[in-house]
Structure 1
């Protein structure tokens, strides 16, 4: 509505854009809308995008279903709500089709976040993994160098601070003036 007041004062759209910190293109579009329809034409039309296909009552029910957890609705493998599971739950309970990305947005709207389920290979041998971790990884893993032994920079040699004054190359590293 500030834009309408400025247009009524005969201020140019480019100046309106600068004052309201918006793009010049937006200011010119607002100016044209204002000329054609006055102040009501500049009123907000609400959020863009498609409308939610679930009623407020259905959204409350969905939030309650999500609170119950996945096991209460047939997913016993883990206690994780994935977007895919939520989309399936919406289809089962409300007979409305949601995409995975749509289910993700809906979950965020309700205050939930989809989790990625931990998938393990069916052929995974837990005993072999444990043996590998205990035996092989201990051998492969190498202790790092001490912190002060190297320089962190590729182009600059290690700092002369702490070097012996009479050590090798001491005479070459004269201070710059």
Structure 2
């Protein structure tokens, strides 16, 4: 870290925040209100057990427009398929961000265990 805690400014770098989220493509069951004697019917199409995961980077640098870089990952439904991102997916996302932003980045992310490579893995 540079003197005074100004790493991004000293490096003329992008400040990049990373987070990920997963959600189901099936809508939740809901309750509604209706007039007495008039049962409301809510039709839901496309009932599936598919899930989506998204990893996103929000990128900021003074004098530049902010950027949003993201990668979706769809659960393929196979028993052996991953539902979430692996460390290699995060690595590839960061390499893409570095290339698109054209400069150094200071990355801020949570302490999720999948961000780091497992022991013995090579990047």
Q: Please give the TM-score of this superposition, normalised by the length of structure 2.
A: 0.27
Which of the pair has more CA radius of gyration? 1
User: TM-score normalized by structure 1?
Assistant: 0.21
**Which protein is richer in strand relative to its size?**
2
Determine which structure has greater relative contact order: mean sequence separation of CA pairs < 8 Å that are 6+ residues apart, divided by chain length.
Answer: 2
Structure having the larger proportion of residues in helix: 1
